Amino acid sequence: MPSISKKGINMPESPIRKLVPFAEEAQNQGKTVYYLNIGQPDIKTPAVALDAVKVHSLDILAYSRSEGSENYRIKIAKYYKRNSIEVTHKDIIVTTGGSEALLFAFGSIMDEHDEIIIPEPFYANYNGFSTASGVKVVPVISKIEDNFALPPIEEFEKLITPKTKAILICNPGNPTGYLYSKEEIKKLAAIVKKYDLFLIADEVYREFVYDGISHYSILQEEGLEEHAIVIDSVSKRYSMCGARIGYLVSKNKDVMKTALKFAQARLSPPTLAQIASEAALDTPQSYFDDVIEEYVKRRDILIEGLEKIEGVKVAKPNGAFYCIAELPVKNTDDFAKWLLKSFDFENNTIMVAPAAGFYSTHGVGLNQIRIAYVLNEASLKISIKVLEEALKVYKD
């Protein structure tokens, strides 16, 4: 019998999606399942984006340029300028989602067995992208007791080897919701310049920052032009996850020249999705004001509710729409399955993402879950009550 590749065997399952069969079975049993496991907003996509696809005048759905439509990239550059980020359309490659942008970045700057340092917990698919690229993740652990702030720079320096090529952050963070400060970005900038590394920042949640705090992009940091690579996406910004449009952004011409070769190998990003995404750039600020206000309400309901549950510890996020909660259980993977298979409260149950999958260090995060507060306020309140009642009866 033909064998599967080692890379395929080592490819991790998604901690976000692997419980779907259990959720489907719970629904088949008549239970209402509240999905707190995945960052799929229930916020409506801007009408301007959907209308652009409905009224297009294309006769042929043709390839676009490999780097994406020039008009679209010019508009993206204007979007960045409004956010105090100075780039040109030549510094942007449009990709099939932020995921492809990250794969292009990995392929452009790292060879097999090279190393990338990532503060953990981190977006679970970073493990998958690293496996697919033959790259070793070297984690530096941030702690719930510190609200998942940037670990001391000394901890990064201890991990740097001749194989280290980059540091990767998500800002604001998935799964923690942590927003890195300008001072923390400057510390990272200093270390990548000192050791001649790349600094990759996944900034797909840039718009979603709270409590009067501002987002500071690595592209705003002077002197980082040859080191900085930004991963971006329309998925969360405009609630357009299904469009699968992202960007790779860097002022490093060698990086962009190399990434373009990967872009050419997959021909082009999807044309209709680019039409929708270009139109989405005309979304009024009032849309984001309303969305941010809604997420702050949801965050506050969730955090206040979790803090009232005995034995639960939670970090308060300043961005994105996720939080990490520590539960009084030994293994949240078992707990999450039990919630779907064996528990309901008034015929309701919840689906959560076990947090161990957001770490690469074995045995860390086993008692944590990630919660995405992408449900409306009423659903969040029911979900909190379900969790509270479940913890009263659950036995490890």
The tens digit of pLDDT for each residue in 156-166 reads: 999 999 999 99
> Residue 313 — φ and ψ, nearest 5°?
-120, 135
Rounded to whole angstroms, the maximal C-alpha distance in the chain is 61
Q: Could you tell me which of 341, 358, 359 has the C-alpha nearest to residue 350? A: 341
The tens digit of pLDDT for each residue in 89-137 reads: 999 999 999 999 999 999 999 999 999 999 999 999 999 999 999 999 9
Tokens of 174: 């998935």
The tens digit of pLDDT for each residue in 283-317 reads: 999 999 999 999 999 999 999 999 999 999 999 99
- Band the pLDDT of 38: cuts 50, 70, 90: confident
Q: Name the residue type at position 395.
A: K
Overall pTM > 0.75: yes
Cα within 13 Å of Cα(128), Cβ side? 12
Distance CA 383, CA 350 (A): 6
Q: What is the dihedral of CA 183, 187, 189, 190, to 10 degrees?
A: 130
Tokens of 99: 């995921």
Is residue 15 over pLDDT 80?
Answer: no
334's CB contacts (< 8 A; 6+ apart) are 396
Q: Which residues pair with 199 in a beta bridge?
A: 167, 228
- CA 357 from centre of chain: 14
β-strands 136-141, 246-249 pairing? unpaired
Domains of the chain: 6-44+286-393 (3.90.1150.10), 47-280 (3.40.640.10)
